[in-house]
Amino acid sequence: MKTKQAGLIVICAGALSLHAQTLRTAGTLAVDMAADAITAADGDAVTSWANGGTLGAAFNALAGMTGAVFTNSLLGRKAVLFDGTAQSVLVGPSAPSSLTGESTWSIEAWVWVPSPPPAKAVYLSWTEDEAVSGNQDCLRLMMRYDTGGVQVDFRGGAMGSNYGTPASGLWHHIAVARAASEMLTFYVDGVPCNQGGQGNVNLQAGKPLALGGVLRVGTSAYTNFFAGALSRVRVHTGTLSEDDVRHNYLTDVPSYRAGGYAVWNGGTGDWNDPAFWQDGRVGAGLDAVRIQSGSLTVTNDDMTAGSLAMLDLRTGTLKLTTSAARIDARTPFVLGRESGQAAAINVSSGVLNVVSSGNPAYLDLGVNGALSTLEVGG
**Predicted TM-score of the model (pTM):** 0.81
Distance CA 139, CA 141 (A): 7
Per-residue pLDDT of the chain (378 residues), as tens digits, is 333 334 555 544 443 433 336 999 999 999 999 999 999 999 999 999 999 999 999 999 999 999 999 999 999 899 999 999 999 999 999 888 888 777 899 999 999 999 988 888 999 998 666 654 554 545 678 899 988 889 888 766 778 887 678 888 989 999 999 998 778 899 988 888 888 876 555 566 677 899 999 988 778 889 999 999 999 999 999 999 988 998 899 889 888 876 678 899 999 998 888 999 999 988 887 788 889 899 988 877 655 435 677 788 888 888 888 888 888 777 677 777 667 777 778 877 777 777 655 455 667 776 667 777 777 765
How far apart, in whole angstroms, are the C-alpha atoms of residue 313 and residue 329?
Answer: 12
C-beta separation of 295 from 270 below 8 A: no
Q: What is the Cα–Cα distance from 193 to 159, expressed in whole angstroms?
A: 10
Helix, strand, coil abundance in the chain, percent, nearest 5: 10, 45, 45
**Domain 29-239, CATH 2.60.120.200 — does that match?**
yes
Domain limits, the chain: 7-20+256-376, 29-239
CA dihedral 289, 248, 340, 264 (to 10 degrees): -20
The Cα–Cα gap between 144 and 117 comes to 10
Residues 202, 212: Cα–Cα separation, whole Å = 22
